[in-house]
A and B are shown apart, each in its own frame.
Chain A
Amino acid sequence: VSRRTQRIVVALSTAAVGSFLLAACVAANTPGAQPNPIFSTDVSATPGMAGAGNMPGMSAMPGMSMSPSQTGGGPPAAPVGPDAVNIDGFAFAPGTLTVKAGSTVTWTNKDEDPHTVVAGGGAFRSQALGSGGIYSFTFPAAGTFDYICSIHPFMHGTVVVTP
């Protein structure tokens, strides 16, 4: 019986001891045999997960639990008034909004895609807003706040808060 021998060089690295190359000759890799991943030895577990048949202990997951706040439904009424920003066509409108300190600004997502409202300095951060989703934030003090949509970070907006 002839067996095909395949030479596999396995690179193994350890962060604790430095790094070295281990050249190993793994014999008898018959056609159809699975090559196994070799992970770095300084992590506690294997990244990823096992597929079917490799994880007999994997039990069925419970059904999905969708929390309404995370599906982005939001109140049905869209905001009206000067302290409102619409998210429409992957853009914040108006792009720059000026309000007085103490004002509450309300963003409404009019797109089908989800968006977020995330301040660069961490002053405010919405959850994902689904279609029709609404987020409000009250600005207590003056300042200039640049924000983006963290899902589509090419979307930029600014709120200027005057004293």
Chain B
Amino acid sequence: MTEDRDPMTMSRRQLIRHSAWFGAAVGLAVVGGEVISHVAGSATATLTRPTLRFAQVSDSHIGFTGPANADVTGSFTRAVDQINGLGYTPDFVIHTGDLTHLATPGQFDQVKQMLSGLETPHVFTVPGEHDSVDDAGQKYRKVFGAGTRGDGWYSFGIAGVHVIALVNTLNMTKLGHLGQDQLDFVKNDVAPLSSDTPIIVFSHIPLFAMYPDWGWGTDDSVQALSYLRRFASVTCLNGHVHQVFSKTEGNVTFFSATTTAYPLPHPGDGPAPKPLTLPAGKLHDALGIREVTYTKGQQALALKERTLP
């Protein structure tokens, strides 16, 4: 296996070690109570909220039918309810792609309607390859592309944090792909920013080489990340791999999110990334959502993984 010699890729053993480490780290990174007391006019101290807090949901695959999850709509409904029940209003919710399973107009309508039930001021999305399966993302952009640039990418600033949403599911030959237009966008987009601006990047496919044999990487991500090298804090959040995973490379930390639909095998576990059918009652432990908080003055974002109820 060539991936053992590639510094960008983890061996199976490293991966297992890393997963174990990540599992522990998540527990420590949990931000404490979000209790905010609201007594009008009261001078009593209230717990300060983080500078920014948002939720990530991914890979809902609306339209999937199969034994791995007979009710992806029901699972995604639970995820929406879970976010709405967090006890605070997230500043936004990001869906990191594969909203639909087969990119049909009906599936896009359904997932948009479900996302509109999220109690948050803003819902952002990036497309997955299932959302751009046969038309280079045209149907996706018709529903979710308003205000975006190029083939659907965009950026925004919020609470002092700069957020970049990328599209890496088009024009693929083996791995995810950004393309020159999007690379130029990233370069120009961050050029005016001070190097202490925290950067958050969303994409569907990982921007690191998680497992290239299954397409779990992006062929020109190194170029994109080179424009972010001068920033003190860069956090990349992705979906696609249907499992929680984390890796740090220099100033950049990558976090793969789980799914609300069905689990996939760990990298290299079996011949192909086929949907895994778990024993009865185990499915929802593999599905979940993620909370992310940023507190000004702290370099690292805090993540909390929650399995579906």
Contact = CB atoms under 8 A, between A and B. Distances in A.
Interface in A122-146: 125-128, 130-131
Contact of A116 (B91, B134, B296): B134
A51 B122 CA distance: 5
Interface residues of A, number: 70
Given A1-B41, A37-B122, A52-B119, A61 B109 contact: yes
Nearest to B143: A49
Given A47-B156, A48-B144, A151-B133, A61 B112 contact: yes
Contact of A43 (B122, B147, B173, B271): B147
A50 B123 contact: yes
Nearest to B216: A154
B146 A62 contact: no
Given A13-B192, A40-B155, A90-B273, A114 B118 contact: no
A27 to B, nearest CB: 14
A130 B101 CA distance: 10
Contact of B51 (A35, A52, A89, A91): A35
B146 A50 contact: no
Given A47-B154, A48-B144, A52-B117, A128 B52 contact: no
A64 B110 contact: yes
Contacts of A31: 36, 46-49
Contacts of B49: 31-33
Interface in B101-153: 101-107, 109-110, 112-113, 115-125, 129-130, 133-134, 144, 146-149
A58 interface: yes
Contacts of B162: 11
* Secondary structure call for the B interface: loop
A35 B36 contact: no
Contact of B124 (A48, A52, A89, A130): A48
A127 B160 contact: no
Contacts of A130: 102
B158 interface: yes
A80 interface: no
A53 interface: yes
Given A152-B215, A154-B213, A113 B123 contact: no
Contacts of A111: 274
B159 A8 contact: yes
A49 B144 contact: yes
A125 B132 CA distance: 13
A67 B104 contact: yes
A157 to B, nearest CB: 13
A148 interface: yes
A128 B102 contact: yes
Contacts of A9: 160, 194, 197
Interface of B: 36, 38, 41, 43, 46-49, 51-52, 63, 66-68, 84, 88-89, 91-93, 101-107, 109-110, 112-113, 115-125, 129-130, 133-134, 144, 146-149, 154-160, 162-163, 165, 172-175, 188-189, 191-194, 197, 212-215, 271-275, 296
Give the 10 A-B residue pairs with the shortest CB-CB distance, closest first: A90-B272, A35-B159, A45-B147, A64-B106, A19-B192, A51-B120, A48-B124, A47-B147, A61-B113, A47-B154
23 contacts: A11-B157, A11-B194, A21-B192, A32-B36, A37-B156, A37-B163, A46-B147, A49-B115, A51-B122, A52-B118, A54-B120, A61-B109, A67-B106, A70-B102, A89-B272, A112-B67, A127-B134, A130-B102, A152-B214, A152-B215, A153-B215, A154-B214, A154-B215
